[in-house]
Amino acid sequence: MPKPPEVIYPSDVVIERMLVLGIAPESFSESYMTEPRPRASKAIATLKSARPTILPSLLLCDFANLEREVRLLEDAGVECLHLDVMDGHFVPNMSYGMPIVESLRKITKLVLDVHLMISDPVQYAPQFANVGADCITFHLEALPEPQALLAKLRGMDVAAGVAINPSSDFAALLPHVPFCDLVLVMSVQAGFGGQSFNSVAVDRLRQLRTQFGPDLLLEVDGGVNESTIGQCTAQGADLLVVGSALFRQANYVDAMARLNAAIVPTNC
């Protein structure tokens, strides 16, 4: 006989974060897994033990030699790859989709962090979970009520999070943070690599870290380079997405060493 569905309650961490926001845990209605999440837990543990850590954004890599690029990044000490998915609709640019994530999954054990800049994350995010993503973030601007999809992705054993653009209302994000494994604070408007860092992200990182404590993984993306990385880590960023400051350099080992040397320990 099939087992009846378990009654599932939010984890202690979720309850703790809800209390921070003054939300009564009884009002919580989404289902959350209590079973072990082996893939998500492993990815989260890897990222936490490595933090602060640099995540190369593959947007500018040499796609004709993708496997060689991955090996060079592994040799440079990278723990996690950041994969920017753009649909030409949510953002005015297109990149790649499931086949690239699936191909990467076959050739590397690195954590795969998929950043969905797409209009319909409800339809496509689960497909990225199925092809081997470890972490998936989607934009609050695309899905202003993100909790059902966060729960679904967590139920599919991926680490799930919400991304927010610099121009968007930060207050609208806060009620959803308790349900995120990670939050992606954009320091450029999503869509293109090579833009300048917007320091509104620094204030947001500090506020999230102060309000929600050390358990939450905080990611920052856009314009992160040797000059801007220190202010991000000082204010609590764990995951530093870097595109042009890495891929426009001839030697990834040297570029990673310079970026790592510019990291400042957190002061919050």
Nearest to 161 by CA among 23, 44, 57: 44
Looking up tokens 């009002």 gives 27
Query: By CB under 5 A, what part of segment 195-234 binds Zn ion?
Result: 221
Binding mask 14-53 for Zn ion (x = CB under 5 A): ----------------------------------------
CB 17 within 8 Å of CB 25: no
List the end-to-end C-alpha distance of the chain, in Å, as a whole number. Answer: 52
Which residues touch 90 (CB under 8 Å, ≥6 apart)?
117, 118, 119, 139, 141, 142, 190
Counting contacts by CB under 5 A, is residue 84 touching Zn ion?
yes
Tokens describing residue 88: 């030409």
Active site residue 84: yes
Tokens describing residue 144: 């202003």
For the CB of residue 71, give the shortest distance to ligand DX5 in the complex, in Å: 21
CB 182 within 8 Å of CB 203: no
Of 190, 202, 205, 220, the residue at the interface with ligand DX5 (CB under 6 A) is 190
Of 17, 39, 115, 204, the residue at the interface with ligand DX5 (CB under 6 A) is 115
Among residues 134, 221, 238, 254, the one annotated as catalytic is 221
Counting contacts by CB under 6 A, is residue 223 touching ligand DX5?
yes
For the CB of residue 257, give the shortest distance to ligand DX5 in the complex, in Å: 17
CA distance 133 to 114: 6
- Please count the residues of this chain forming the interface with Zn ion, following the rule CB under 5 A: 3
CB nearer Zn ion, residue 84 or residue 141: 84
Counting contacts by CB under 6 A, is residue 133 touching ligand DX5?
no
